[in-house]
């Protein structure tokens, strides 16, 4: 690892960026950053799994991304590290990456974790000589890509705001107090991910009883600004495809609620529902993940019927 100090301001032209996490979010970031001619080196735990590594290697080769052998190697000699791993790995990723950080390199924590987890990650990064900035992604990344609304937090946040926006991000400082940006994200998730879980539970139960049309009509009357058929289809799709990641995020949201001194009844229940749908998806209930039609039904009823059929076969309660 180089011991040369990283620049403390925006380097002219090309940045050297390390990506920790090369899943959907990491790959989108890599595509955007490479299209702007920034150097990208990436690492992901799944690179050690032959079943998952192939697609990552193909994507990296297509976009000129260098794949590293460890998170520390991905961080070496970079001005900026972006950590986008699953929520439960937030602290572990910071700890593993720390030894590779160049002095004064920024570490942007993209992960959906509780304020407590962010504080521990910050302690590890700052202890390794890096500059930690928490990031809270405030909506789904795929439609917005690099321009997704991003809240920054922590004492180093203002140092990174302008450089990030110069790269192409849509970032703004929420607070120089660590944890405020993450708390905003987590409290939002209690509502948004909770609504996903409630729609799946309510609509699937309504399908069982044959009252789905009456349910949709009633909701349409109460909330006329929402196309409930289309919204339900979208919620089913997103949870089927990303339920595992959403469940981890909601466990962090539940921890955020606990840190506020409240019992996280809603957040914890949402995590369980998201995890249940993820398990069904992994078992092939909704088809193969490798198929283009996976989780792409325009009619939520088809997916609800699959859930109900699984329950009939196993004898499990709906």
pLDDT tens for 159-170 read 999 999 999 999
**Is 25 among the domain residues?**
yes
- Does residue 107 share a domain with residue 78? yes
Name the domain boundary from 162, 177, 192.
177
- Does residue 91 share a domain with residue 34? yes
CA end-to-end span of the chain, whole Å? 54
- Does residue 188 share a domain with residue 166? no
**Residue 210, domain extent:** 182-313
Average pLDDT, the chain: 92
CATH number of residue 168's parent domain: 3.40.50.720
**Is 96 among the domain residues?**
yes
- Does residue 71 share a domain with residue 45? yes
- Does residue 150 share a domain with residue 271? no
Mean pLDDT confidence for 45-50:
90
Q: Could you read off the pLDDT of 102-138 as tens digits, one per residue? A: 999 999 999 999 999 999 999 999 999 999 999 999 9
Q: Per-residue pLDDT for 11 more than 70?
A: no
- Among all chains, which residue has been given the structure tokens 């398990």? 279
Q: What percent of the chain has pLDDT over 70?
A: 93
- Does residue 121 share a domain with residue 67? yes
Q: What is the pLDDT of residue 135?
A: 96
Residue 108 token pair: 């942007």
State the pLDDT confidence band at 143, using cuts at 50, 70 and 90. Answer: confident
- Element holding 43 (H helix, E strand): strand 39-43
3-state SS, residue 175: strand
Q: What is the pLDDT of residue 14?
A: 87
Of 63-77, 93-107, 221-235, 281-295, give the lowest mean pLDDT range.
Answer: 281-295
**Is 9 among the domain residues?**
no
Q: What is the pLDDT of residue 131?
A: 97
Q: Per-residue pLDDT for 318 more than 60?
A: no
3-state secondary structure the chain: CCCCCCCCCCCCCCCEEEEECCCHHHHHHHHHHHHCCCEEEEECHHHHCHHHHHHHHHHHHHHCCEECCCHHHHHCCCCEEEECCCHHHHHHHHHHHHHHCCCCCEEEECCCCCHHHHHHHHHHHHHCCCEEEEEEECCCHHHHHHHCEEEEECCCHHHHHHHHHHHCCEEEEEECCCCHHHHHHHHHHHHHHHHHHHHHHHHHHHHHHCCHHHHHHHHHHHCCCCCHHHHHHHHHHHHHHHHHHHHHHHHHHHHHHHHCCCCCHHHHHHHHHHHHHHHHHHCCCCCCCCCCCCCCCCCHHHHHHHHHHHHHHHCCCC
For the chain, the domain total comes to 2
Residue 282 token pair: 């992994």
- Does residue 159 share a domain with residue 28? yes
**Is 10 among the domain residues?**
no
CB 186 within 8 A of CB 167: no
**Is 157 among the domain residues?**
yes
Q: What is the pTM of this model?
A: 0.85
- Does residue 186 share a domain with residue 163? no
- Does residue 163 share a domain with residue 113? yes
- Does residue 288 share a domain with residue 194? yes
CATH number of residue 284's parent domain: 1.10.1040.10
- Element holding 82 (H helix, E strand): strand 80-83
Nearest alpha carbon to residue 30 among 77, 66, 73, 76: 66
Name the domain boundary from 113, 146, 177.
177
Name the domain boundary from 177, 212, 237.
177
Q: Per-residue pLDDT for 293 more than 70?
A: no
**Is 122 among the domain residues?**
yes
């Amino acid at each position: 690892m180089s011991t040369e100090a990283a620049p403390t301001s925006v380097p002219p032209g090309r940045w050297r960026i390390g990506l920790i996490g090369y899943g959907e979010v990491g790959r989108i970031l890599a595509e955007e950053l490479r299209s702007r001619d920034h150097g990208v080196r990436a690492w992901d735990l799944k690179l050690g799994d032959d079943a998952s590594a192939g697609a990552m290697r193909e994507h990296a080769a297509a976009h000129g991304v260098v794949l590293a052998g460890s998170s520390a190697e991905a961080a070496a000699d970079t001005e900026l590290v972006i950590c986008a791993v699953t929520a439960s790995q937030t602290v572990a990723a910071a700890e593993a990456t720390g030894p590779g950080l160049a002095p004064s390199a920024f570490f942007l924590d993209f992960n959906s974790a509780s304020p407590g987890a962010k504080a521990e990650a910050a302690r590890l990064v700052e202890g390794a000589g890096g500059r930690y900035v928490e990031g809270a992604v405030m909506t789904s990344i795929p439609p917005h890509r690099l321009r997704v609304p991003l809240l920054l937090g922590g004492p180093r946040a203002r140092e990174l705001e302008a450089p990030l926006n110069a790269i192409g991000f849509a970032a703004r400082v929420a607070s120089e107090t660590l944890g405020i940006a993450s708390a905003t994200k987590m409290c939002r998730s209690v509502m948004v991910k909770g609504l996903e879980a409630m729609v799946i539970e309510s609509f699937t139960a309504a399908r069982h009883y044959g009252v789905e049309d009456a349910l949709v009509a009633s909701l349409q009357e109460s909330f006329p600004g929402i196309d409930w058929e289309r919204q339900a289809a979208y919620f089913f799709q997103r949870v089927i495809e990303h339920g595992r990641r959403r469940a981890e995020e909601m466990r962090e949201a539940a921890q955020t609620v606990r840190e506020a001194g409240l019992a996280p009844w809603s957040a914890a229940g949402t995590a369980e529902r998201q995890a249940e749908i993820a398990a069904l998806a992994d078992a092939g209930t909704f088809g193969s993940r490798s198929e283009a039609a996976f989780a792409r039904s325009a009619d939520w009823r088809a997916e609800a019927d699959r859930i109900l059929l699984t329950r009939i076969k196993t004898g499990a309660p709906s």
